[in-house]
Structure 1
Amino acid sequence: MSFGFFNIPAPVNEPVKEYRPGSPEREAVKQAIATFRSQEADIPMYIGNEEIRTNQKVRLAPPHDHQHTLGYFHEGTAEHVNKAINAALSAKDAWAALPWEHRANIFLKAADLLAGPYRARINAATMLGQSKNAYQAEIDSACELIDFLRFNAKYMAEIYAQQPNSASGVWNRLEYRPLEGFVFALTPFNFTAIAGNLPAAPAMLGNTIVWKPAYTQVLSANVFMEVLKEAGLPDGVINLIYVDGPVAGDIIFNHADFAGIHFTGSTKVFQTIWGEIGANIHKYKSYPRIVGETGGKDFVLVHETADADEVAVGLVRGAFEYQGQKCSAASRAYIPSNLWSAVESKVKQFLSEVKMGGVEDFTNFVNAVIDERAFKKISAYIDEAKKSDQVEIVAGGNYDGSKGYFIEPTVIKVQDPAYRTMCEEIFGPVLSVYVYEPSYFDSIIKTVDQTSEYALTGSIFAKDRYIIERVSKALENAAGNFYINDKPTGAVVGQQPFGGARASGTNDKAGSALNLYRWLSARTIKETYVPPRHFGYPFLEAE
């Protein structure tokens, strides 16, 4: 058999379709939505070569129409966690030994399937299951997931090509092995792309995976598994289970072959997991890799030189696209008094034009929050704000959960920059604003840095380049993704690697080679062609 050094096709970001009236993509996704709504899905777990169904079925419903049943998935038990681990370990040797270009081809084919025949299906599943409008679904479940698969294949090839220098008479080599054991992917509801990338990235590098998605994302997770299977992913490489978190964690974090976790979710859960891993560290064959992206309390800092219209657009899009349920969503804003009147007026104008409702109506900008628990949590913040004499509801403030979990885009103006909604992660369509005097700008920079435990995203709006440079330096640890004159959301794979530090995670930058290094264990090989035949060195010779 002949071998060679192979070049991955140069990745290009997947073009975002617009879904204009009458467009083919609009008609295709409408048909896919109708198909999903006309039948009840029966979604199994995928363990090894089996599709497993149980006696415990969990109902799936659109968050914007919670009386409608999309179908059911089959919930597992501890038995299925153990079975998934065994399947992953059984598949590991053959998968790790498969030449890397063949692993890459599977995921590149999956990307093309998503870009073509599965595009409408994955978008419709995301729209219905996670209540995303067509555009938000397109940039997530189609484009970003496609980009993750294509760019990660390119990064993998570039990593493998990195080799050490060799002295005369020696050949030094680096092997990039997968981790020893299995990887646990614990994925969130809010991005289908993240939920797909967390198991796919380590799998591409030769690892085998136990994948547990959020229950509210199962519909689109199942479509991605359909894509992977059609692309030729071998049985047991990615094992998809639906099991209660503590049940899964109790088994996985006590298993000797646990090699790492790829996580996106809440800070509290991640810290709990980290503690469990630490307590069990003596049980593992290797020190597990812990990679996580968690919460955010993302800021928009506005300088007196900023353009009010640009700020208003950044706030409305940054805070209220996908109902503020992005880890990167603008949640707190600091606006100078000289601009506040103009910004407030423009934000109110924009929000008066925003429609809210189900995803099936493409004129709706805002849809429902993910479930009843989120609805109650977010509405409680709004109710508390309404009762406070230190807070003014500038826009929105209403909600209705009778048909769907709908909460109006809400803007809260606070008198105290340490008020709860300025500090705590809400994860919903609530933007808190503090208006400051321009002369206090330097102290506001410190307030931005010190208010939150998080450090995920943030932005500065300013026309003064000296101010932009100063803020960029002063807030270098306050945001892993920092935006200048733009909203703090919308990171693109290959352009803005995503992740934050502090309580926002390990900052391992999904969408870059930095993340892939975490799923590799390098072995250095030195081969000496003519070994010495005596232990001595020249310095030992007598004068």
Structure 2
Amino acid sequence: MAHILHTPSLAHFKLPAIDNEPMKSYAPGSVERQKLEQAIKDMRAAEAAEVPVVINGEKILSGATAQQHNPSEHKSVVCNYHEADASLIKKAIDGALEAKPRWEAMPFNDRAAIFLKAADLISTKYRYKLMAATMLGQGKNAWQAEIDAAAELCDFFRFGAKYAEEMYQQQPPKNAPGVWNRSEYRALEGFVFAVSPFNFTAIGGNLAGAPALMGNVVLWKPSPGAVYSNYIVYQILEEAGLPAGVIQFVPGPAEDICDVVLGHPEFASLHFTGSTHVFRKLWKQIGNNIENYKSYPRIVGETGGKNYHMLHPSLDADGVRQAALQTVRGAFEFQGQKCSACSRAYVPASLFPDFKKHIVAETNKIKQGPVQDFENFLGPVINKFAFDKIKGYIDYAATNDDCEIVAGGKYDDSEGYFIKPTVIVTKDKDTKTLKEEIFGPVVTIYVYEDADFEATCKLISDSTQYALTGALFARDREAIVAGSNLLRNTAGNFYINDKCTGAIVGQQPFGGARGSGTNDKAGSWSLLVRFVSARSVKENFVEIDGFEYPSNQI
């Protein structure tokens, strides 16, 4: 093994001031709109990108290829990507473990500098390319792409460095005479496996980036629906100075990759965002291999949701309208393809006529179409599988006597995977569109009697396995206090008089419990804690005269 060079740390450095990335508006005629439109035009005119497997900095064309399609125009290919097989995954693991000692030994300020530079590259040089790839590849409109691929990804990298700096500063408050106590936050032994979803480019960057920032090496398996944007993020990190082998970029068949990764004795952690079903399957697979691992793996996951808006009878007319507007945005932004999207609403009978009037009218105003046409609020769902699944729930409601579709209910996949934003009203509190995750532009309303507020809060808590996000709309402060307490365990992110989506790094750490994940709060220090293994160090400066205690003296 080559000699490991330990670079001396000659000073403690303070990071630059960290703040949220300023959002651009993309208003008509604005410079940023012109630049984004040009980036989209150039990307659509170019041939489909070719994305390699990247191991130890080497771009590998495996020959086993798959395609990522544009969901707005599903005949259009965004990229052709090469897939890793079992032998390449083994090579990636070996290479990552070889890179680990040098990376872990690199001073924190140098590791942080890579991610801070990557954030600046995203916010400037690559902003519009990364957004265009997110829009065309993942079906986001300009605003949603700005929130995700630009602002949130910058925030993850910058605030990650800030929280890591604060963590390293946490040291024992007491030292006995002649003793110096200190805490060391080591990277995990082995490697981290990051499995990222299609719906947020930023989540892909954070799933791989957060463990790497803390000195870990990572195998990053991107979603087939987000390969191109995720590869651009990888290239940005590379340009920012990330050493070869620290993050291995390995698209490919999920089961084949997982079998090799989870069977390896150096597997140290799973960092996952995706479906509850898949997460539980991987957890079981890890459990079945537990005797084979060097350490107990850290399992960190953010999974499904069945998120709610709860309206209290104390709302006035303006409050009802606001709740309806927030529900439209929370349910239908990015076609409901957010784990936090509002999927069910509970409305008191006295407010329902007004609420229904507003939500139907506003939903019917929504423009839908290809993402390159900026006036469209809604784009496509991600692929044929998602289209068919969501269509099935709409068809179920259309034929169920207890359900009424009051807006939307139509769909068309002739050119892109377009599903009209759909509002269902049900008389059955157990209807499956109120209980099962749909992950599409469908919201179901249940009308409850005004006197049954507390019982309906209990219904919200008991009717699904999920506990990710939720919102309470009320005017009366006592109702807000009561509802907040009754709904305490229904959501890891709880909103008062606001929609249940839109958590911002540095403002609302994100994550849920129950079937929604391990609630390790992406965008906070608590996530980073999961990717370090603390060592307590005690150094003694004073000799002792003997082994006996003072109490042993006669």
Distance (whole Å) between structure 2 residues aligned to residue 297 and residue 60 of structure 1: 28
Alignment map for 1:327-342 (pairs within 5 Å): 327-342=339-354
Aligned residue number for residue 293 of structure 1 = 302
Aligned residue number for residue 452 of structure 2 = 440
Aligned residue number for residue 91 of structure 1 = 99
Q: For 1:315, which of 323, 327, 340 is the aligned residue?
A: 327
Aligned residue number for residue 226 of structure 2 = 217
Q: For 2:133, which of 110, 115, 125 is the aligned residue?
A: 125
- 3-state SS in 2 of match to 1:61: strand
- Establish whether residue 172 from structure 1 lines up as the match of residue 181 from structure 2: yes
Aligned residue number for residue 509 of structure 2 = 497
1:70 shift after superposition: 2.1
Distance (whole Å) between structure 2 residues aligned to residue 86 and residue 23 of structure 1: 48
The letter for the 1-side match of 2:20 is N
- Establish whether residue 64 from structure 1 lines up as the match of residue 72 from structure 2: yes
The letter for the 2-side match of 1:365 is F
1:69 shift after superposition: 2.0
The letter for the 2-side match of 1:68 is S
> Do the aligned partners of 1:47 and 1:83 also contact (CA within 8 Å) in 2?
yes
Aligned residue number for residue 22 of structure 2 = 15
Aligned residue number for residue 3 of structure 2 = none
Aligned residue number for residue 380 of structure 1 = 392
State the Cα deviation string for residues 107-129 of structure 1 (Å, max 9, x = none).
00000000001000111000000
Distance (whole Å) between structure 2 residues aligned to residue 155 and residue 440 of structure 1: 43
The letter for the 2-side match of 1:446 is K
- 3-state SS in 2 of match to 1:431: strand
Aligned residue number for residue 159 of structure 2 = 151
Alignment map for 1:133-144 (pairs within 5 Å): 133-144=141-152
Aligned residue number for residue 506 of structure 1 = 518
Q: How many residues align?
A: 542
- Establish whether residue 54 from structure 1 lines up as the match of residue 62 from structure 2: yes
1:2 shift after superposition: 6.1
- 3-state SS in 2 of match to 1:363: coil
| Residues 60 and 2 of structure 1: CA distance in aligned 2, closer, same or farther (over 3 Å) | closer
- 3-state SS in 2 of match to 1:60: strand
Aligned residue number for residue 488 of structure 1 = 500
Q: Which has the higher mean CA deviation after the structures are superposed, 230-239 or 70-79?
A: 70-79
- Establish whether residue 100 from structure 1 lines up as the match of residue 108 from structure 2: yes
Aligned residue number for residue 338 of structure 2 = 326
Distance (whole Å) between structure 1 residues aligned to residue 194 and residue 451 of structure 2: 48
- 3-state SS in 2 of match to 1:175: strand
**Deviation above 3 Å: which 4+ runs of structure 1?**
none
> Do the aligned partners of 2:471 and 2:498 also contact (CA within 8 Å) in 1?
yes
1:226 shift after superposition: 1.4
1:49 shift after superposition: 2.1
- Establish whether residue 272 from structure 1 lines up as the match of residue 281 from structure 2: yes
1:19 shift after superposition: 0.5
Aligned residue number for residue 362 of structure 1 = 374
1:413 shift after superposition: 0.4
State the Cα deviation string for residues 374-406 of structure 1 (Å, max 9, x = none).
000000010011011110001000000000000
Aligned residue number for residue 73 of structure 1 = 81
Distance (whole Å) between structure 1 residues aligned to residue 44 and residue 23 of structure 2: 25
Aligned residue number for residue 4 of structure 1 = 11
Task: State TM-score, norm by structure 2.
Answer: 0.97
1:71 shift after superposition: 2.7
Aligned residue number for residue 467 of structure 1 = 479
Distance (whole Å) between structure 2 residues aligned to residue 243 and residue 120 of structure 1: 27
> Do the aligned partners of 1:151 and 1:494 also contact (CA within 8 Å) in 2?
yes
The letter for the 2-side match of 1:98 is M
Distance (whole Å) between structure 2 residues aligned to residue 532 and residue 15 of structure 1: 59
> Do the aligned partners of 2:521 and 2:527 also contact (CA within 8 Å) in 1?
yes
- Establish whether residue 201 from structure 1 lines up as the match of residue 210 from structure 2: yes
State the Cα deviation string for residues 201-236 of structure 1 (Å, max 9, x = none).
000010000000100000100110111111011000
1:533 shift after superposition: 2.9
- 3-state SS in 1 of match to 2:77: coil
Aligned residue number for residue 437 of structure 2 = 425
Distance (whole Å) between structure 1 residues aligned to residue 499 and residue 18 of structure 2: 26
> Do the aligned partners of 1:392 and 1:414 also contact (CA within 8 Å) in 2?
yes
State the Cα deviation string for residues 219-262 of structure 1 (Å, max 9, x = none).
10011011111101100000011121110111111101000010
Distance (whole Å) between structure 1 residues aligned to residue 445 and residue 364 of structure 2: 18
> Do the aligned partners of 1:337 and 1:438 also contact (CA within 8 Å) in 2?
yes
Distance (whole Å) between structure 1 residues aligned to residue 125 and residue 418 of structure 2: 32
| Residues 2 and 451 of structure 1: CA distance in aligned 2, closer, same or farther (over 3 Å) | closer
The letter for the 1-side match of 2:123 is A
> Do the aligned partners of 1:126 and 1:141 also contact (CA within 8 Å) in 2?
yes
The letter for the 2-side match of 1:31 is Q
The letter for the 1-side match of 2:276 is T
Distance (whole Å) between structure 1 residues aligned to residue 512 and residue 478 of structure 2: 25
Distance (whole Å) between structure 1 residues aligned to residue 412 and residue 116 of structure 2: 43
- Establish whether residue 409 from structure 1 lines up as the match of residue 421 from structure 2: yes
State the Cα deviation string for residues 262-305 of structure 1 (Å, max 9, x = none).
00001111111111111111111111100000000001100012
Q: Which has the higher mean CA deviation after the structures are superposed, 466-475 or 484-493?
A: 466-475
Structure 1 stretches lacking a partner, 5+ long: none
Task: State TM-score, norm by structure 1.
Answer: 0.99
> Do the aligned partners of 1:81 and 1:243 also contact (CA within 8 Å) in 2?
no
Distance (whole Å) between structure 1 residues aligned to residue 10 and residue 84 of structure 2: 43
- 3-state SS in 2 of match to 1:70: strand
The letter for the 1-side match of 2:105 is A
Aligned residue number for residue 38 of structure 1 = 45
1:55 shift after superposition: 1.6
Distance (whole Å) between structure 2 residues aligned to residue 110 and residue 466 of structure 1: 46
1:148 shift after superposition: 0.4
| Residues 2 and 98 of structure 1: CA distance in aligned 2, closer, same or farther (over 3 Å) | closer
The letter for the 2-side match of 1:177 is R
Q: For 1:457, which of 469, 474, 480 is the aligned residue?
A: 469
1:352 shift after superposition: 2.0
Distance (whole Å) between structure 1 residues aligned to residue 178 and residue 107 of structure 2: 29
Distance (whole Å) between structure 1 residues aligned to residue 57 and residue 461 of structure 2: 50
- 3-state SS in 2 of match to 1:55: coil
- 3-state SS in 2 of match to 1:144: helix
State the Cα deviation string for residues 306-345 of structure 1 (Å, max 9, x = none).
2111111111000000000000000010001111111111
The letter for the 2-side match of 1:87 is G
The letter for the 1-side match of 2:195 is L
Distance (whole Å) between structure 2 residues aligned to residue 246 and residue 362 of structure 1: 38
Distance (whole Å) between structure 2 residues aligned to residue 61 and residue 271 of structure 1: 28
- Establish whether residue 226 from structure 1 lines up as the match of residue 235 from structure 2: yes
